[in-house]
Amino acid sequence: MENHTYAVLAEKLKKVYHLYKEEIVALKGIDVTIKKGEFVSIMGPSGAGKTTFLNLVGCLDKHTEGSLIVLCANLASLNERQLHNMRRHHLGFVFQEFFLIKELTALENVQLPIVFANEYKNLPWAQYLLERVGLKQRMNHQPKELSGGEMQRVAIARALANKPDILLADEPTGNLDTKNARDIYDLLRQLCNEEKITIIAATHNVKLAYLADRVIHLREGNIEKDELVIERRF
């Protein structure tokens, strides 16, 4: 297997949470491979392990067993600094709750990752991104002045600020209405096609899930089904 063609290579990936004395096995040893440039939906009911999977891939958490290689890096062997480097330069995260910084304007929010990465010369990129997600007129607005869909667009722009290879979206449309949800997915689709970004998006919305290239069905920590979308149903 040639590693560099893969964005994610997971073998027997297991995640156990310890809650008091109880052990919760959120992922029960799944094998997943995601190619670069793929748009993958993670489908499944609540508690299936979608978020867990995204967090592991996003280097926000560490897996318990098995191996997880993200962009040629074996996450198990990375230290704090290297994990942080992965997050900073290679991964972008979008949350269901948007999680924008309240005091900062849309533009400042998008600039923040660039600022953290000390790449000031890239600051204009933030403006481009906001234009790209269709918020040219909204740049200097604070999050409270934006609608849910707009906020999620800002969040997506922010996730793309450091030009990541993989965009991880955990139920990005969970707080949006159907129209806005669809728009967000269209945006993701576009980004995938035009910017060649690997997108992994968790959702339990069937219609939206099938807008991706591939849908991985999770249930109780196991992969139930892994299907390529040959023909868009919707």
Ligand X SMILES: Nc1ncnc2c1ncn2[C@@H]1O[C@H](COP(=O)(O)OP(=O)(O)O)[C@@H](O)[C@H]1O
Summarize as ranges the residues that interact with ligand X (CB under 6 A). 17, 19, 24, 26, 44, 46-52
- By CB under 8 A, tell whether 117 contacts other proteins: yes
Rounded least distance, CB 179 to other proteins, Å: 26
Place of tokens 């949006």: 176
- Span from 70-78, 109-117, 143-151, 196-204 in contact with other proteins (CB under 8 A): 109-117
Q: Please, which of residues 14-33 interact with other proteins by CB under 8 A? A: none
Structure token digits, residue 7 = 């964005």
Between CA 214 and CA 202 the distance in angstroms is 12
Identify the residue among 38, 40, 43, 58 touching other proteins (CB under 8 A): 58
Q: Which does 60 bind (CB under 5 to 8 A by kind): Mg ion, other proteins, ligand X, none?
A: other proteins
Q: Is the dihedral of CA 218, 74, 58, 211 positive or negative?
A: negative
- Over the window 45 to 84, marking each residue x when it contacts Mg ion by CB under 5 A and - when it does not, the resulting string is ------x---------------------------------
Q: How far is the CB of 19 from ligand X (least distance, A)?
A: 4
* Alpha-carbon distances, residue 41 vs 51, 83, 185, 229 (angstroms): 12, 24, 11, 10
User: Residue 167 and residue 40: Cα distance in Å, rounded?
Assistant: 10
Task: List the one residue from 95, 125, 185, 210 that touches other proteins (CB under 8 A).
Answer: 95
* From candidates 44, 49, 113, 149, binder to other proteins by CB under 8 A: 113
Tell how strand 73-74 and strand 222-228 pair up. unpaired
The DSSP result for 165-209, as a single string, is SEEEEESTTTTS-HHHHHHHHHHHHHHHHHH--EEEEEES-HHHH
Stretch that binds other proteins, among 33-41, 93-101, 179-187, 195-203 (CB under 8 A): 93-101
CA atoms of 211 and 40, how far apart (whole Å)? 9
Residues in touch with other proteins (CB under 8 A): 55, 58, 60-61, 80-81, 84, 87-89, 92-93, 95, 97, 99, 101-104, 108, 112-113, 115-118, 158-159, 161-162
